[in-house]
Structure 1
């Protein structure tokens, strides 16, 4: 049976064992959220030996080349020496500078000990009290001097329970920053741009719409935000102040009517969607019916957190 080494610890596991399970059964406490290769909370580095990786494309080539792997996607097929991601060593410290509550949504702003490189639409893994979760960046690089995250704390959860107790001055760690499906492309400047968000799916689109305006977008911009109640439209005021952006704030009960009214002004319309999987699927289905080609729809679904 293959052998796993972590520091001074060494033990054997059955061939084909899941690496995340093997590490946690040995008491290493590697965090995870989705077990689907999306959240990047279970990052480890293989120093010797290589596991069978079911999702190598989930990590950037340079990270993959030096041994970083998502433990949930790996099977142990030979001896391994593994280094577990350490947020104190491998992450970046971020001090809470602002906390604002909008109903169950927490807007969290962090000032980091050193610069974090990212683009609008990307995600970052936040570490708090030994729990790691990925959240979309809502801030705009080069303009905002903080990292902003929107955290939906409606339901209990390991991260949300800790987030509710945060105070200004507390320190979190920022881990892996990665790209999702959402971005703004300079080649889009003359094309109609639709942004559809449900709940805190607004976070990455808030950064992207401001990036589009900063880049001088010339086409129509339409932003539709769906929420459970008025408090859920937590960025209503700043959204309505965006120049040249047609903003629609829609309650869940009104959503079907609002979606049925979508009529693209051009076959060149681009759509960016974000929210829970059911909402994103609903958006995508309606856009297809409205005539927006699938190749012009970019979607990012939130991972369901425990």
Structure 2
């Protein structure tokens, strides 16, 4: 029977136990969100021994060389000595500089990190609150332009992180965990190709950053952005998007609700088979968007998608 050791505590676990479950069962309180190897909230460092890793490609070679593993994707197959990610030791402090509500259930959070953070539009960042709860959020800010890190939090439902975030005020401190890239990015080589952005809810956050990245690079192809919200009040960036469309003749903005979605999808046609589609939001919405795009003839390698997986309180 393999043994796990964390901070001097050692216990036996069943062979091939999921590492995340074994650590939490042993009282280590390792955070997690997606359990799919995407959010990176469950990061741990293996000091001795090696687990069976189902997704070694989820971390870069530098992280793996340092012993970091995603515990949700690992099985305990031999004795392991593990160090749990400590935000106070391994994270970066950030100060809340602005909190506002662009929609009744969308919290816009802006943070100033204690040291410069290099990132690309569309990447994710792990946020830790003062209660030890960690959640991954996509960056809505634009590197080299915004002097803060911006996040859009969906607060419609109760959540261990979002409930605490509602009480944040400027001057409060959070910790920043691992920065990692999702599927979404902007490539300057797409310059003349049509871009299609489809967002559901706060899935608009990374696409807001990527849209501004495309325009900063003087994108020459047409750009269409469709935002699906639960009702009209959920179009929390409507004013900014409308103003941006007025200033850029190649940009078309479409704001829709679930009642309008079937008709929009039924009438959907590709401007060109060279279109690059970037999708983000709840898995069900992203799946529906993707299905329609495939039916319309979009090659699969021209569709980039990220999904938001949330855990209720």
Q: What TM-score do you get using the length of structure 2 for normalisation?
A: 0.95
Is residue 2:72 matched to residue 1:72? Answer: yes
Unpaired runs of 5+ residues, structure 2, are none
Is residue 2:84 matched to residue 1:94? Answer: no
Query: Which one of the candidate residues 196, 205, 208 is aligned to 1:206?
Result: 208
Matched with 1:145 is 147
What CA RMSD, in Å, does the superposition of the two structures yield over aligned residues? Answer: 1.1
Matched with 2:278 is 272
Matched with 2:105 is 104
- In the aligned structure 2, how far is the partner of 1:138 from the partner of 1:234? 13
- Once the two structures are TM-superposed, the CA of residue 227 in structure 1 deviates from its matched residue by 0.6
Q: What TM-score do you get using the length of structure 1 for normalisation?
A: 0.97
SS of 2:177's equivalent?
strand
| Contact in 2 for aligned 1:125/1:175 (Cα 8 Å) | yes
- In the aligned structure 1, how far is the partner of 2:235 from the partner of 2:96? 23
- Once the two structures are TM-superposed, the CA of residue 143 in structure 1 deviates from its matched residue by 0.6
- Once the two structures are TM-superposed, the CA of residue 125 in structure 1 deviates from its matched residue by 0.8
Matched with 1:304 is 310
- In the aligned structure 2, how far is the partner of 1:118 from the partner of 1:6? 32
| Contact in 2 for aligned 1:38/1:303 (Cα 8 Å) | no
Matched with 1:169 is 171
Matched with 2:120 is 119
Unpaired runs of 5+ residues, structure 1, are none
SS of 2:14's equivalent?
coil
Matched with 2:252 is 246
- Once the two structures are TM-superposed, the CA of residue 223 in structure 1 deviates from its matched residue by 0.5
- In the aligned structure 2, how far is the partner of 1:305 from the partner of 1:124? 17
Q: How many residues align?
A: 306
- In the aligned structure 1, how far is the partner of 2:149 from the partner of 2:268? 33
- Once the two structures are TM-superposed, the CA of residue 263 in structure 1 deviates from its matched residue by 2.0
| Contact in 2 for aligned 1:138/1:205 (Cα 8 Å) | yes
- In the aligned structure 2, how far is the partner of 1:232 from the partner of 1:214? 26
- Once the two structures are TM-superposed, the CA of residue 262 in structure 1 deviates from its matched residue by 2.4
- In the aligned structure 2, how far is the partner of 1:160 from the partner of 1:78? 37
Q: Higher mean Cα deviation, 229-238 or 13-22?
A: 13-22
Matched with 1:187 is 189
Is residue 2:53 matched to residue 1:53? Answer: yes
- In the aligned structure 1, how far is the partner of 2:148 from the partner of 2:122? 16
What's the CA shift string for 1:237-286, capped at 9, x where partnerless? 11112232211111221111122232222221111111101100111111
- In the aligned structure 1, how far is the partner of 2:283 from the partner of 2:311? 13
- Once the two structures are TM-superposed, the CA of residue 44 in structure 1 deviates from its matched residue by 0.3
Matched with 1:230 is 232
- In the aligned structure 1, how far is the partner of 2:276 from the partner of 2:164? 38
Is residue 2:296 matched to residue 1:290? Answer: yes
